[in-house]
């Protein structure tokens, strides 16, 4: 049988990495590119695929995902931003959803799964509208209009929570709502209290400002989640540089140095030739004198502890121990800055600049050890700036410690959002069902074709309560229909999906709180992304051109 003939004008001959020849047909390359409505539908399909991956992680009964990095490292999480951030996505629109989740995480810190699920549902609804012949721009305009109605309705159904540094009950309940779906849910009251105490310690309530750089979250494998504690000070994963140095320093005066404990070295373009024993001894004497000068300069200021960003060799370490000057070496940049903030000391880049006024102070600096291996860490406590805190997370393995850190970050952000704006809506999908009803009512009063898009937006809002019901093992449609009917008849917008099996649907009585700014941001960001996707009708790679 004769081989098929290939038109040389319609083919490209090339070789692979091993030199083997193969053919690319130009027509095949063209067929993979889509235009217009077909392109928009392919984009919607890609976005829905990503949204469906994270949908099962929504809510307190959501399931976790196991992520394996190219190096074989394992991450187990149900945090939307983490799942999407570590996924390998090739499609351009899928990458937009990853960025959507990241922007929610950066701005609000919580609700990263919900915003992606909502965006996926909106795109699913828009596909049905496109099939009915409605132009993508009219759909996008209708979604924008519906989003405005939903955000206004959120303001109407929101409540204000009152709190103070003494009465933190409402803040703890907000943090517990955030932690309900996390791996730490067994200890979620303890973690919620830690998150609230950390935020209120560093927060300026009058200015409604929470400086996150004063909260450090550290972790160590070993122990259980119940051993997690809040330290009012700074925790360093370091120990004293010499084993014979004292284990604790009271009334510490700390020299915070970013210059190394070593003699000046020649610059890279110069070299030092040593040709005899006498010259070597002179160099040795010079180095020893320099070390002694450095230690003397530190001791003259009254410092009784040195924290250095760089390391120092055994000779310097021995001289520090002989001169009864405890030291900590290889302290990272962020920790150095936090120590300077907590102890109200100055970071000193040269020994000549060190003075008594630039020393930091602390009531006690002590070494703690734990576990059978006696791992050591340093705690700096009783600092003049009492606003610096460290959360020390314990867990049975690295995976649990990392997930607990992520859970704490979400809880801290949820409490921060209440400090910034103390309005809340109730969770369990109650706010979404109520907003859906409000958008349906508004759509009936719109004479233009945009009413179809507004109704679709209202249906998309119900995707979150549907997903919560499904993930909780309930019948999604029956549960949603029942709650929606009760919201209308009882005129109670606080009724939602009973995910925890409490036997009633009132989210106010279940204390399921969502910060208003978090829910509002979800609606706004999801709508903006869907509008952007609906306006893309072609993907052109750089260098593509029709022959």
Q: Where are the alpha helices (DSSP H) in 7-64?
A: 26-31, 36-55
Q: Which residue has the higher pLDDT, 480 or 369?
A: 480
- Render 439-497 in DSSP notation, one character per residue: HHHHHHT--STHHHHHHHHHHHHTHHHHHHHHHTTS-HHHHHHHHHHHHHHHT-TTB--
Paired tokens of 453: 């898009």
- Which residues, in sequence order, are bridge partners of residue 367? 378
Selection from 237, 220, 236 nearest residue 405 by Cα? 220
Q: What is the pLDDT of residues 398-440, one digit of tens each?
A: 888 988 998 898 889 989 988 888 888 998 889 999 999 999 8
Confidence check: pLDDT of 241 > 90: no
Rounded average pLDDT over 57-81: 85
Rounded average pLDDT over 213-232: 87
Say which of 79, 197, 402, 514 is annotated catalytic: 79
Say which of 82, 113, 168, 177 is annotated catalytic: 113
- Average pLDDT over the chain, rounded to whole? 84
Domains of the chain, with CATH numbers? 36-160+426-534 (1.10.560.10), 233-385 (3.50.7.10)
Q: Which residue has the higher pLDDT, 201 or 28?
A: 201
Say which of 105, 110, 402, 410 is annotated catalytic: 410
Q: What is the pLDDT of residue 2?
A: 47
Q: Which of 45-49, 392-396, 435-439, 543-547 has the weakest average pLDDT?
A: 543-547
Confidence check: pLDDT of 31 > 70: no
pTM: 0.80
Give the contacts of 522 (CB within 8 A, at least 6 positions apart). 104, 111, 114, 115, 118
Q: What is the pLDDT of residue 16?
A: 59
Phi, psi dihedrals of residue 382, rounded to the nearest 5°: 55, 50
List the beta strands (DSSP E) in 279-397. 305-308, 327-328, 347-348, 360-370, 375-381, 389-395
Confidence check: pLDDT of 329 > 70: yes
Catalytic annotation present for 273: no
Q: What is the pLDDT of residues 140-197, one digit of tens each?
A: 999 999 999 999 999 999 998 888 777 888 888 888 888 877 777 778 889 999 999 9
Catalytic annotation present for 112: yes
Q: What is the pLDDT of residues 117-130, one digit of tens each?
A: 999 999 999 988 98
Q: What is the pLDDT of residue 536?
A: 83
Rounded average pLDDT over 367-395: 85
Say which of 75, 82, 112, 228 is annotated catalytic: 112
Paired tokens of 331: 């302290």
Confidence check: pLDDT of 47 > 70: yes
């Amino acid at each position: 049988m004769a081989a098929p003939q290939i038109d040389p004008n319609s083919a490209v001959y090339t070789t692979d990495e091993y030199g083997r020849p193969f053919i690319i047909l130009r027509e095949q390359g063209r067929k993979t590119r889509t235009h217009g409505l077909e392109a928009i539908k392919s984009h919607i399909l890609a976005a829905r695929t990503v949204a469906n991956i994270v949908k099962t992680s929504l809510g307190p009964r959501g399931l976790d995902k196991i992520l394996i990095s190219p190096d074989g490292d394992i991450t187990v999480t149900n945090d939307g931003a983490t799942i999407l951030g570590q996924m390998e996505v090739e499609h351009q629109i899928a990458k937009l959803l990853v960025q959507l989740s990241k922007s929610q995480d950066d701005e609000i810190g919580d609700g990263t799964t919900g915003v992606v699920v909502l965006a996926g549902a909106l795109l699913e609804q828009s596909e049905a509208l496109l099939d009915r012949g409605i132009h993508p721009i009219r759909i996008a305009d209708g979604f924008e209009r519906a989003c405005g109605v939903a955000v206004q309705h959120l303001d109407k159904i929101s409540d204000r929570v009152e709190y103070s540094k003494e009465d933190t009950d409402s803040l703890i309940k907000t943090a517990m709502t955030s932690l309900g779906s996390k791996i730490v849910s067994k200890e979620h009251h303890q973690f919620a209290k830690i998150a609230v105490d950390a935020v209120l310690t560093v927060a300026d309530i009058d200015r409604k400002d929470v400086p996150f750089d004063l909260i450090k979250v550290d972790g160590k494998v070993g122990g259980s989640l119940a051993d997690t504690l809040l330290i009012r000070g700074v925790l360093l994963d370091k120990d004293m540089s010499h084993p014979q140095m004292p284990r604790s320093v009271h009334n510490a005066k700390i020299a915070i140095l970013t210059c190394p404990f070593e003699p000046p070295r020649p610059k890279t373009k110069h070299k030092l030739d040593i040709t005899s024993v006498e010259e070597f001894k002179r160099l040795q004497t010079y180095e020893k004198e320099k070390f002694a000068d450095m230690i003397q300069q530190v001791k003259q200021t009254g410092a009784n502890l040195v924290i250095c960003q760089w390391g120092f060799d055994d000779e310097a370490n021995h001289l520090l121990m002989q001169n009864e000057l405890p030291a900590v070496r290889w302290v990272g940049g962020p920790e150095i800055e936090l120590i300077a903030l907590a102890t109200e000391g100055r970071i000193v880049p040269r020994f000549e600049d060190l003075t008594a006024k630039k020393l930091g102070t602390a009531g006690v600096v002590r070494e703690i050890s734990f576990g059978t291996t006696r791992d050591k860490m340093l705690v700096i406590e009783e600092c003049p700036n009492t606003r610096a805190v460290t959360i020390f997370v314990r867990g049975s393995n690295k995976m649990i410690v990392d997930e607990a850190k992520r859970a704490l970050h979400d809880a801290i952000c949820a409490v921060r959002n209440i400090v910034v704006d103390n309005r809340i809506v109730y969770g369990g999908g109650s706010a979404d069902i109520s907003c859906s009803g409000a958008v349906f009512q508004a759509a009936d009063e719109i004479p233009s074709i945009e009413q179809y898009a507004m109704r679709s937006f209202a249906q998309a809002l119900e995707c979150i309560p549907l997903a919560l019901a499904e993930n909780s093992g309930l019948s999604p449609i029956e549960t949603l229909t029942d709650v929606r009917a009760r919201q209308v008849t009882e005129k109670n917008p606080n009724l939602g999906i009973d995910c925890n099996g409490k036997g009633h649907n009132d989210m106010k009585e279940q204390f399921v709180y969502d910060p208003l700014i978090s829910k509002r941001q979800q609606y706004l960001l999801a709508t903006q992304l869907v509008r952007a996707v609906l306006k893309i009708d072609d993907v052109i790679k750089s260098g593509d051109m029709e022959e």
